[in-house]
Amino acid sequence: MNKKVIGLVFFVVLLLISHILLAIKIFNLTDELSKLEERTDKFGKNLTDFQKHSDLQISKINDEILKILCSQKENTTDIKNELAKINRKSDAQYSKTVGMSKTYDAILEEQKKKTLDTSEKDKSNIEAKKNAVALYKKGIFSASYDEFRKLTQTFTDDMECRLYKAKSLYYKNRADSSSYAEILADIRTLKQNGVSDAELLEIEKSILAEKEGFDE
């Protein structure tokens, strides 16, 4: 076999080996491409599932947000209503307080007037009592009786005036027994109020003794 044939055979063998290696490489590439396509499909499917899941979650979140907003709106409305009620109550309470304040001022003013009137009456009472006592000490019993009688009608709780009234009436006319009933009534009132006066007790004894003499 000559060299040309050997060279040709060798070239053919090399070419065949090259094609075989190329075929193997193409096969491997085809297999890798197939696997890549499978992975791509799987990734696409996973991506689609993820997108659906994400859309579902987003939809749920939106629904929750909407619910929260609606609830917040209702709560805001309730709060506004409560604030309105509180404001109305506050206004009513303020009006009531103002009314009470005016009433209190009116009562206070009335009380001041009464206090002034009472003060004036007290001053008048003190002055009238001084004059009546002066008349009594001067022995002007008729005039002192009239003054003390007026005072006891106005100031029924003034036992001092009642004491002088009883004495003035007695000394006014000792012979007038028609005044005894009034004098004894005053003495009973004075005793009931804890007033004790030696002179008045003597007057009482004298009247009672005189009445016993009349009865006999």
Quote the Cα angle for 131-136-140, to 5°: 100
Is residue 109 in some structural domain? Answer: no
Q: What is the pLDDT of residue 214?
A: 60
Q: What is the pLDDT of residue 139?
A: 94
The whole-angstrom separation of Cα 211 and Cα 133 is: 29
Is residue 52 in some structural domain? Answer: no
The whole-angstrom separation of Cα 167 and Cα 187 is: 10
Is residue 170 in some structural domain? Answer: yes
Number of domains in the chain: 1
- Cβ-proximal residues to 182 (8 Å cutoff; 6+ apart), any chain: 166, 169
Contact 210, 177 (CB under 8 A): yes
Is residue 177 in some structural domain? Answer: yes
Is residue 172 in some structural domain? Answer: yes
Q: What is the pLDDT of residue 142?
A: 95
The whole-angstrom separation of Cα 119 and Cα 67 is: 75
What's the half-sphere exposure (Cβ side, CA atoms, 13 Å) at 207? Answer: 24
Written as tens digits, the pLDDT of the chain (216 aa) is: 677 788 888 888 888 898 899 889 888 888 888 888 888 788 778 778 877 877 888 788 878 877 877 777 777 777 778 878 887 887 777 677 666 667 656 765 776 565 445 566 667 778 999 999 999 999 999 999 999 999 999 899 999 999 999 999 999 988 788 999 999 999 999 999 999 899 999 999 999 988 887 655
Task: State which residues form the domain around 167.
Answer: 139-215
Is residue 210 in some structural domain? Answer: yes
Is residue 162 in some structural domain? Answer: yes
Phi, psi of 174 (to 5 degrees): -65, -25
Q: What is the pLDDT of residue 113?
A: 61
For the chain, the residue count is 216
pTM exceeding 0.85:
no
Contact 147, 158 (CB under 8 A): no
Is residue 41 in some structural domain? Answer: no
